[in-house]
RNA sequence: GGCGGCAUCGCCAAGUGGCCAAGGCAAUGGUUUGCAAAACCAUCAUCCCCCGGUUCGAAUCCGGGUGCCGCCUCCA
């Protein structure tokens, strides 16, 4: 039985879909004005596991994800710069080029992490009409009011405002750092449609009944989720930071309009932290998946690192921990590879059952993973049965456990990314470096065959100095680039 | 200032009343290897931040303390 934590109510409860056998799911997607950082990616991995577990439990999942490509502002509804425009200026490109570039970058990361693509991916700018229609409805119901810079949602008109987030409007009032925008009726009111200031030409703006401008940030998810999933659906996910403002406002505007409960389950992924604190785009302190790849890490090692912790617990990122995950992944694959020849058995019921039970208990991936390791270490389980069990587990884990060494990305691929001028050897071209290693290895093999081990060891030292580790095996010597070099 | 979360082996991290606490990484011992590396096997917390309490029994509940983090501003 699948049990999931619901932010709305703050407890784990049995999952009951609206329609038997089906689960409708909306996940807040990326804002495409910059690369996704690995913290952003943590949330998408959590959602991917959720989706795969839903399927495993027999539900047909219908998944919708938005792409936020409307600028919005770096601050609240009144001040700040347009993020898309900032990104465009930085890269000297048009906002549309920026949008396409970072959307593609996100898709590439998603593919690297083996995230199952949504059934529907929808862009905010492709649904301006739907957003305007929704705002008009709100206006006609008297829930919106105009200010000089746009149309605002009157949160006082929605009695349940902030229920899911556990907000206390009084408490917010007392908050020292909250500034009330000019003319807002309530501190929590937010912009539904933002007007372009007179005399300003924005790169992204549209005509509307209220004048030229752009939609408020929250309305896009409400409008698109409603369009694709209806006035009531099962699960809505996002990062923990969305609870307070974004999702609170989405609920307010949608339920104020329909007069009924919108989403049954709200699920939120916790943050990935750095030692120094939160990873943030605005402060520039963030790591991308590409950066990890350049350092020689397998994206799936990052996936494993994430699955080693529960999605509702803050997780501190460190290269030490990622290194551990990479090693673990290599060993996992090594074992799986050795077993792979055996086939024709059914999965081991015990391990598989415990694995599934862990996942069905609010996606306890760490505990599920423990079953995977115990299975591998269990001498009493025949190889063929292990293979079948592993294959089934990997449907959720997506660690590509049967991948063999030779299929690994070539070490050092992506030449010319980050060369360290302090180490002269790295300045030699990739080609000549490989050639040099090849020659040294050949000489060492000869020396070993001649039992001239002193010479063989000297040659190995020389090779090691190039940032390469070598492995002797009955079938020959192989080498891999040491991480940190290159 | 207000709200919320977390503190478990060197590192990461499950476990939320009852077999003297999963799993991964590291470490140590061993097998293997010309030596290494890799791989494999074994070992590795009577103890869960501190103090007090509840209970037959607590890492798990309650009170107090200390420390760390997040939110209240765009943010996954």
3 state SS for chain A: CCEEEECCCCEEEECCCCECCEEEEEECCCECCCCCCHHHHHHHHHHHHHHHHHHHCCCEEEEEEEEECCCCECCCCCCCCEHHHHHHHHHCCCHHHHHHHHHHHHHHHHHHCCCCCCCEEEEHHHHHHHHHHHHHHHHHCCCEEEECCEEEECHHHCCCCCCCCCCCHHHHHHCCCCCCCCCCCCCCCEEEEEECCCCCCCCCCECCCCCCEEECCCHHHHHHHHHHHCCCEEEEEEEHHHHHHHHHHHHHHHHHHHCCCCEEEEEEECCEEECCEECECCCCECCCHHHHHHCCCCHHHHHHHHHCCCCCCCEECCHHHHHHHHHHHHHHHHHHHHHCCCCCCCCCHHHHHHHHHHHHECCCHHHHHHHHHHHHHCCCCCHHHHHHHHHHHHHHHCCCCCCCHHHCCCCCCCCCCCCCCCCHHHHCCHHHHHHHHHHHHHHHHHHHHCCCHHHHHHHHHHHHHCCEEEEEECCEEEEEECCCCC
Does residue A118 carry a pLDDT above 50?
Answer: yes
In angstroms, the CA A173 to CA A185 distance is: 12
Q: Which residue's C-alpha is at the least distance from the C1' of B69?
A: A277
Residue A371's nearest nucleotide, by CA–C1', is B23
Q: How far is the CA of A398 from the C1' of B43 (A)?
A: 32
Provide mean pLDDT across the span A169-178. Answer: 51
Per-residue pLDDT band for A172 (boundaries 50, 70, 90) equals low
Q: How far is the CA of A278 from the C1' of B6 (A)?
A: 15
Q: Cα–Cα–Cα angle for A457, A463, A468, nearest 5°?
A: 125
Q: How far is the CA of A271 from the C1' of B60 (A)?
A: 25
Q: How far is the CA of A452 from the C1' of B34 (A)?
A: 9
Per-residue pLDDT band for A176 (boundaries 50, 70, 90) equals very low
Residue A328's nearest nucleotide, by CA–C1', is B24
Q: Which residue's C-alpha is at the least distance from the C1' of B37?
A: A471
Q: Give Cα A78 distance to the centre of its chain.
A: 29
Does residue A188 carry a pLDDT above 80?
Answer: yes
Residue A36's nearest nucleotide, by CA–C1', is B76
Q: How far is the CA of A274 from the C1' of B60 (A)?
A: 28
Q: How far is the CA of A369 from the C1' of B9 (A)?
A: 20
Provide mean pLDDT across the span A132-155. Answer: 92
Closest Cα to residue A417, out of A307, A298, A294? A294
In angstroms, the CA A302 to CA A314 distance is: 16
Q: Give Cα A217 distance to the centre of its chain.
A: 20
pLDDT at residue A478, as a whole number: 76
Would you say A38 and A292 are in contact if contact means Cβ atoms under 8 Å apart? yes
Cβ within 8 Å of residue A288, ≥6 positions away: A35, A36, A37, A38, A109
The dotted CATH code for A3-274 is: 3.40.50.620
Q: How far is the CA of A458 from the C1' of B76 (A)?
A: 50
In angstroms, the CA A110 to CA A116 distance is: 8
Provide mean pLDDT across the span A25-46. Answer: 92
Angle at which helices A365-377 and A349-360 cross, to 10°: 170
A26's tokens: 């909306």
Burial zone of A427 (CB within 10 Å; 0-12 exposed, 13-18 middle, 19+ buried)? exposed
Q: How far is the CA of A44 from the C1' of B7 (A)?
A: 27
Residue A28's nearest nucleotide, by CA–C1', is B76
pLDDT digits (tens, 9 = 90+) for A389-424: 999 999 999 999 998 754 434 443 333 333 333 333
Instruction: For residue A139, count other CB atoms closer than 10 A to its CB.
Output: 18
pLDDT at residue A46, as a whole number: 95
Burial zone of A129 (CB within 10 Å; 0-12 exposed, 13-18 middle, 19+ buried)? exposed
Residue A74's nearest nucleotide, by CA–C1', is B74
ipTM of this complex: 0.93
In chain A, the largest separation of any two C-alpha atoms, in whole Å, equals 91
Does residue A79 carry a pLDDT above 60?
Answer: no
Residue A177's nearest nucleotide, by CA–C1', is B72
Does residue A69 carry a pLDDT above 80?
Answer: yes
A407's tokens: 């299929």
Per-residue pLDDT band for A425 (boundaries 50, 70, 90) equals very low
- Cα torsion angle, A66, A70, A75, A78, sign: negative
| Cα–Cα distance list, A389 to A155, A195, A337 (Å) | 52, 57, 14
Protein-contacted bases of chain B (C-beta within 7 A): 1-6, 11-15, 22-26, 33-42, 69-76
Q: How far is the CA of A339 from the C1' of B12 (A)?
A: 28
Provide mean pLDDT across the span A107-125. Answer: 96
Q: Which residue's C-alpha is at the least distance from the C1' of B40?
A: A335
What percent of chain A clears pLDDT 90, i.e. is strictly above it? 52
Residue A331's nearest nucleotide, by CA–C1', is B39
Over chain A, what is the mean pLDDT?
84
Domain boundary assignment for chain A: 3-274, 295-407, 424-481
Q: Which residue's C-alpha is at the least distance from the C1' of B23?
A: A370
| Least trusted range by pLDDT, from A81-95, A241-255, A399-413, A415-429 | A415-429
| Cα–Cα distance list, A27 to A143, A268, A305, A393, A452 (Å) | 26, 10, 22, 24, 62
Cβ within 8 Å of residue A388, ≥6 positions away: A343, A345, A346, A347, A348
């Amino acid at each position: 039985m699948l049990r999931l934590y619901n932010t709305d109510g703050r407890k784990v409860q049995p999952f009951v879909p609206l329609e038997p056998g089906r689960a409708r799911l909306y996940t807040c997607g990326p804002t495409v004005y910059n690369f996704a950082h690995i913290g952003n990616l943590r949330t998408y991995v959590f959602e991917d596991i959720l989706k795969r577990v839903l399927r495993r439990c027999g539900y047909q999942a219908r998944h919708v994800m938005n792409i936020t490509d409307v600028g919005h502002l770096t601050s609240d509804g009144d001040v700040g710069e347009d993020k898309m425009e900032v990104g465009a200026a930085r890269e000297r490109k048009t906002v549309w080029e920026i949008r396409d570039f970072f959307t593609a970058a996100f898709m590439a990361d998603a593919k690297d992490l083996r995230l199952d693509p949504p059934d529907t991916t929808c862009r905010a700018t492709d649904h301006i009409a739907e957003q305007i229609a929704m705002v008009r409805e709100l206006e006609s119901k008297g829930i919106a009011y105009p200010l000089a810079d746009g149309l605002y949602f009157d949160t006082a008109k929605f009695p349940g405002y902030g229920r899911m987030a556990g907000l206390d409007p009084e408490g917010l009032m007392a908050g020292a750092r909250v500034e009330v925008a000019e003319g807002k009726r309530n501190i929590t009111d937010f912009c539904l449609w933002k007007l372009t200031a007179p005399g300003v030409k924005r790169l992204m703006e549209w005509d509307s009944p209220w004048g030229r401008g752009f939609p408020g940030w929250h309305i896009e998810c409400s409008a698109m989720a409603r369009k694709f999933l209806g006035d009531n659906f099962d699960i809505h996910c996002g990062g923990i930071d969305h609870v307070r403002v974004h999702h609170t406002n989405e609920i307010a505007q949608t339920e104020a309009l329909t007069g009924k409960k919108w989403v049954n389950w709200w699920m939120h992924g916790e943050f990935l932290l750095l030692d120094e604190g939160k990873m943030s785009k605005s402060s520039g302190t963030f790591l991308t998946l590409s950066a990890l790849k350049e350092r020689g890490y397998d994206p799936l090692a990052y996936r494993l690192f994430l699955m080693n912790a529960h999605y509702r617990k803050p997780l501190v990122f460190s290269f030490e921990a990622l290194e551990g995950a990479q090693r673990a992944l290599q060993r996992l694959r090594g074992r799986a590879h050795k077993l792979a020849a055996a086939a024709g058995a059914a999965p081991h019921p015990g391990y598989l059952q415990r694995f599934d039970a862990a996942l069905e208990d609010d996606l306890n991936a760490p505990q599920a993973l423990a079953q995977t390791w115990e299975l591998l270490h269990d001498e009493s389980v025949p190889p063929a049965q292990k293979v079948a069990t592993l294959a089934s587990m990997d449907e959720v884990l997506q660690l590509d456990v049967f991948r063999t060494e030779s299929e690994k990305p070539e070490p050092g691929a992506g030449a010319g990314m980050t060369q360290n001028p302090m180490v002269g050897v790295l300045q030699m071209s990739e080609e000549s470096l490989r050639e040099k290693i090849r020659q040294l290895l050949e000489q060492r093999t000869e020396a070993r065959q001649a039992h001239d081990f002193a010479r063989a060891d000297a040659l190995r030292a020389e090779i090691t100095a190039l940032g390469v580790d070598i492995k002797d095996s009955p079938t020959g010597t192989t080498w891999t680039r040491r991480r940190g070099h290159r």
